[in-house]
Amino acid sequence: MPSTPEFNPALVNWNGHHGLPRFEALHDGDFAAAFDAALASHETEIDAIAANAEAPTFENTIVALEIAGDELSRVSALFWNRAGAHTNDVIQALEREISPNMSRHYSKIGTNAGLFARIDTLWEKRAELGLTLEQTRVLERHWKGFVKSGAKLPKPEQEKLAGINEKLAGLGTNFGQNVLADEKSWSLLLSEGPELEGLPDFLKDAMAAAARERGEDGKFAVTLSRSIIEPFLTFSERRDLREQAFKAWTARGANAGATDNRGIIKETLALRKEMAGLLGYGNFAKLKLDNTMAKKPVAVDELLRAVWAKAVSRAREEEADIARLIAEDGKNHEVMPWDWRFYAEKIRAQKFNFSETELKPYLQLEKIIEACFDVANRLFGIRAVEKKGITAYHPDVRVFEIRDASDKLVALFLGDYFARSSKRSGAWMSSFQSQHKLKLRNGNTGELPIIYNVCNFAKPAEGKPALLSLDDARTLFHEFGHALHGMLSNVTYPSVSGTGVSRDFVELPSQLYEHWLTVPAILKQYAVHFETGEPMPQALLDKVLAARTFNAGFNTVEFTSSAIVDMEFHTRDAVDDPMVVQAEVLAALGMPKSLVMRHASPHFQHIFSGGYSAGYYSYMWSEVLDADAFAAFEETGDAFNREMAAKLKDNIYSTGGSLDPEDAYRGFRGKLPSPDAMLVKKGLATFKELSGSDA
């Protein structure tokens, strides 16, 4: 690719290890000029496609669009990685500027009349073009994308839609930055002694490290990172401190002042409603679900409400157990949200005779990473080779080559595992480069997928291993499942590569992969004590497996309430006060006072800055699929059955969006699933109950 003299060529000429960017050559100040040049270059390419004097063909229009904007893709990939995983004031200021600029740029493309005329011509005569199934899917994606960008609207309405998209981009950026600011600015500094009562060593080590990062040597910091706040709420004997920390955690984005997100939510929902109306949809949920497996809000509502009824019933039973334990402790307070994790852990220890502190020494980050790679090798025949000494975007980031059985390089994988104040919370997968087979303007044919995972595990003290909770270990497997979706992709066109699938299908490969964490053969090999190297005792392993559905009511209520609120926000005619609507919805559901949404609206980044608007349900939709999919392996008696693994790879992990998701799933399983296997997996029902049989 020719370098552009106006900006740092290292942003677009990636000539590091196997085409990795040379991160050491990049600087925060490089991005503004690079975006200016890359946006202009992409616009020139688009204009050339639209103005082509030749009759439109799939090659000169759709393929040309697929490979256009390569410089912009590269600059964007580097910038958004930095904005999410290692940000600072300079990057955040530019993010607030770039987000609306990018929206304006793509709105202009989406309403380019000459370009849409070419795409529309191809769409109208698609049956005559002799297209492959993948090409038809790619054409459909472009055509629908242009229609949803307003290509068929009159000019004034196109301009209005472009303005809405631009405003929404800025609001989403501000929302995410506000949450991060609240997370960074709050910590609860504790001292050695009674304030640490009940806290296990692994947590105290993590809190000490967090305090040192804040310049408070000798102190212990409770932060709002899940890797610290959740175990603190689980183990701290100090109810007053649990309450203080819990209220700070759940108040993110709702603290008044400059970082308050409540006004942003109201404006965002109004703009989304207006957008849906311009495009001919009754509400924003109908717009978002138009190209998904669910298709209509009513299908989502039916699933969520059915699960809610079972989940809240179970949660009431769990709450009663906690209330009894509080009374047995000689206390008379009601069950509050900052009590639940603390007493649930005690109940788990009683029921299953083990605690998180007993389990955690067997869950070393390093070993769980090895387990992730081993499962991929057993299922898909690939292996990971770590390459030391390669500079990534942060010193903590590790670089791996992913190779197949013939030692062919199939992907690069970067793992970024530890929490830091420059990283937004949560865990995610993304890519610097996606797999495809097209010939590019720089002369290269196809590209190697370069995929990365970001997590927020507590960083251990120097010389000590990072120890995970079982939930942390599941998160690691989950995100690596997403990574495999990108790394095993085997398609021709970039727009349908890897995770380029409908929102309610994208979580299938990740959630399915979680199942292999608790396959006994994997736990026996990789759940080894960090000091002795001894495998987890069989008795403890049996208890862990028996306890998989413990606290199922709590976990499902947390999630489902968030998903229902999301759908209510995006199906109502108007939302005058989002917090009132949230309260009304939870009251109508019968939300227990002792529980809260997993993501209260002011910090619900999935739906207000993360692309899951009217789509948070998709985790549960995919869970219906993943429970049924893993049952396919269980039915063979072999969690690594080669025939099923080959079908899984060929129909799910490698096809990206080149197939309709229903067709892809049928290709693997031979049928579409019912929710039954998911309800049983979550421990909310038995097959006997669901069938109504007394047999």
Q: Catalytic residue positions?
A: 479
The distance in angstroms from the start CA to the end CA of the chain is 68
Cα 373 from Cα 469, distance rounded (Å): 19
Closest CA to 300 of 313, 286, 312: 286
Q: Are 221 and 214 in contact (CB under 8 A)?
A: yes
Cα 300 from Cα 642, distance rounded (Å): 34
DSSP 86-119: S--HHHHHHHHHHHHHHHHHHHHHHT-HHHHHHH
Strand partners of residue 517: none
462: left (phi over 0), alpha (psi -120 to 50) or beta: beta
- Residue carrying the six token digits 């769409």: 123
Q: Are strands 450-457 and 409-418 parallel, antiparallel or unpaired?
A: parallel
Q: Are strands 383-386 and 398-403 parallel, antiparallel or unpaired?
A: antiparallel
Cα 497 from Cα 655, distance rounded (Å): 8
Q: Are 340 and 246 in contact (CB under 8 A)?
A: no
Cα 6 from Cα 3, distance rounded (Å): 9
Q: Are 238 and 195 in contact (CB under 8 A)?
A: yes
What is the H or E stretch that residue 136 is in? Answer: helix 133-148
CA distances to 285, 476, 480, 527, 583 from 600, rounded to whole Å, are: 19, 24, 27, 34, 10
Cα 682 from Cα 692, distance rounded (Å): 19
Cα 73 from Cα 140, distance rounded (Å): 22
Q: Are 483 and 429 in contact (CB under 8 A)?
A: yes
